[in-house]
Chains A and B, each alone.
Chain A
Amino acid sequence: MTDTDPCFLSVAAAATLIATKQLSPVELTRAYLNRIERLNGTLHAYVRVLHDEALATARGAEAEIMAGNHRGPLHGIPIGLKDIYDTAGVATEGGSKLCLGRTPTKDANVSRLLKEAGAVLLGKLTTWEFAIGGTAFDTPFPPARNPWNIEHDPAGSSSGSGAAVAAGLCAMAMGSDTGGSIRWPAAWCGLAGLKPTYGRVSRAGIMPLSFSLDHAGPLTWTVEDAAIALQAIAAHDPSDPASANHPIPDYRAALVASDLKGVRLGVAHAMFERDCVASEEMLAAFNKSVDVLRELGASIADIELPPLALYNATAFLIARGEGFAIHEKTLRERPQDYGALARDRLTIGAYVRASDMVQATRRRLMLVEATAATMRGLDAILLPTAPDPAPRLADLAPYFGNQRPTYMRPFNLTGQPALSVCNGFDKAGLPLSLQIVGRCFDEAMVLRIGNAYERATPWRERRPPLS
């Protein structure tokens, strides 16, 4: 990495240079395309690179900006979309043999909003098959690799999104999160990954996995970039039945405060010290992060949430039941065309009985109420994102993948906004992570806390050691 490499500019920095005509969107796009050309064969972050289309979009953006029509901070910024986001005229295949050659005629709502914001689509990013299949070698596309060490897993299901942003192969990427699939690759690839509140960002045109748990959101290098992305994609969309018609604040304005005076944070100790004990290095990084937040002015309280296993079991039953409902027809008719992991992970949903689903739904409501009660008087909850840093690909278990539970699913159940940020590195140089969970529709607070933490720590100065 050099100070002048445009592929390592944050979205915010690149946007300022573009707006002031010091950086050409065409040059920036070309730099990313060159880097993709050089590294994608190793990292497998992209399944499809839109070389000519991206340059054409960048030329259009440049012409508009030079003519004085600057649309905003994403105008001329090169991005990637997880390959479950529909893109009109561009294949969207969900990482599956079942969808090879599938070319939508209409953009997903988020794809459209980003296009309207002037972003330059570099290509479609690797995904676990249908966002559930795990890191697999029997699907049409090879799994993405972790840029911090290519022998390690980048996590998923937004695996290409995580790998691409960390490696400087795009400035921002979109992912989806049903049980952690934005925050997990953000955690293992050392990024900011934001799962917004359920209903904040439309899922229309994004391949579904679980109607009541799916969320769409960005993976970025910095928290400020996540705020920029969220501003562009947060919108009420009647074509997504879960989309909320709720006021949208100025997310970047929330980042102005550099301190956290008056902010009240709760630490859910039992979840990562008892229910699933985080690794020593993860715990040490977490405790240091809490110290930093306290020094920034936040008050810290100890809290206790319901057991992690209860949240995870409830989320598992709902996710698998809904996933099977979506895939039942194709699972019965073409089971051989799924990769083994996706096939097994979806088929198990057939065994979730109606009474199981009812009980899970009742339990979900109880957990939502219990979490809300615990959060009374607090602005956010703190916990690690995952108990461990990225494992070696060779060490992944066959069915469940990395089997240690993570700390993310509770907030898919409750629908709360949750942000993962990098909070250090282990001895092997792999990223560690901090999760910040806010009140519903208070992404502004989550981003404020993450941004203040990020600016007070040196973790954004280090990039993956790619030659």
Chain B
Amino acid sequence: MGDTIEARFVAETELLGLELLPGQEETLLAAYTALREMVERVGADYPFEAEPAHVFVPTPSGGGRG
């Protein structure tokens, strides 16, 4: 299935240990899709870097002290 919204929904459902009732999966997949869109919207143009006091910038892989 790859990294599709369906695959992520299935993986998260398993990770959460949720035992869905018959018919619930279809409804929740649609709701999950809407939820992830909302998460994108809420995070858009407002990254954590917008609060410089709380942000660190990681060094490139392999950089820094040897």
Contacts and interface: CB of A to CB of B under 8 A. Distances in A.
Contacts of A317: 35, 38-39, 42
B50 to A, nearest CB: 8
* Range for the number of chain A residues in contact with chain B: 20 to 34
Interface string A265-276: 000000000000
B57 interface: no
B41 A348 contact: no
A249 B31 CA distance: 43
Contacts of A363: 42-43, 46
B41 to A, nearest CB: 5
Interface string A343-386: 11001101110001001101100100000000000000000000
Given A344-B27, A348-B28, A356 B16 contact: no
A137 interface: no
B41 A309 contact: yes
Contacts of B21: 335-336, 343
A351 B25 CA distance: 13
Interface in A45-104: none
A310 interface: yes
Nearest to A353: B39
B24 A359 contact: no
A363 B24 CA distance: 30
A360 B16 contact: no
A398 interface: yes
A314 B32 CA distance: 15
Interface string B11-42: 01000111111011001101110010111011
Given A335-B21, A343-B24, A399 B42 contact: no
A316 interface: yes
A352 B35 contact: yes
A352 B35 CA distance: 8
A314 B31 contact: no
Contacts of B51: 362
Contacts of A366: 46
A313 interface: yes
B18 A347 contact: yes
Contacts of A398: 27
A316 B38 contact: yes
Nearest to A362: B46
Contacts of A320: 35
A229 to B, nearest CB: 34
A36 to B, nearest CB: 36
B27 A313 contact: no
Contacts of A314: 42
15 contacts: A313-B42, A317-B38, A340-B23, A340-B24, A340-B27, A347-B18, A348-B31, A348-B35, A351-B12, A351-B32, A352-B35, A362-B46, A362-B51, A363-B46, A399-B30
Given A317-B38, A363-B42, 19 more contacts: A313-B41, A313-B42, A314-B42, A316-B35, A317-B39, A332-B18, A332-B19, A336-B21, A343-B24, A344-B24, A348-B28, A348-B31, A350-B16, A350-B18, A351-B9, A356-B42, A359-B43, A363-B43, A399-B31
